[in-house]
Amino acid sequence: MTTAEWLDIGWVDQIPVRGSRTVQVEGGDDIAVFRTAEGKVFALLDRCPHKHGRLSQGIVHGGAVACPLHNWRISLSTGEALGEDKGCTPTVPAKIDGGRVLICRAGTLKAAA
């Protein structure tokens, strides 16, 4: 249920396991919402800290996504680039409630702005 704090973006099974879907934010950048093999959801700005690759299009493994453009690994929970690479993508708090995926309203606005 959408509330002052949380945006309800749909059922969790609309996101493929080890995959991602996006949320368009009017007047801002897309948010990528990921679902891991273990069924957790994470939301990040859909923009790699390296050269703005679309993280929603990457390969998800463990708790990270590999950017489709140059294969940087980005942590889904902190948005930090892993390994040798340096950089960070804004994250948005996300959770599942009763099968629905909720993302934080304020976080979405801040990240997408």
Q: Which residues bind other proteins (CB under 8 A)?
A: 2, 7-10, 13-19, 21-27, 30-31, 33, 36-40, 51-54, 57-63, 66, 68-69, 71, 73, 75-78, 80, 98, 101, 108-109
- CB neighbours of 59 closer than 8 A, spacing ≥ 6? 18, 65, 66, 68
With respect to ligand FES, which residue has the nearer C-beta, 54 or 100?
A: 54
Neighbours of 27 (CB within 10 A): 7
Task: Answer with the entry of other proteins, ligand FES, none that 9 interacts with (C-beta below 5 to 8 A by kind).
Answer: other proteins
Task: Answer with the entry of ligand FES, other proteins, none that 88 interacts with (C-beta below 5 to 8 A by kind).
Answer: none
Give 52-56's long-range contacts (Cβ < 8 A, gap of 24+): 54/30, 55/20, 55/89, 56/20, 56/21, 56/22, 56/30, 56/32
96 scored as a contact of ligand FES (CB under 6 A)? no
Site for ligand FES in 60-79 (CB under 6 A): 67, 69-72
Q: How far is the CB of 22 from other proteins (least distance, A)?
A: 5
Cβ-based burial of 113 (10 A; exposed 0-12, middle 13-18, buried ≥19): exposed
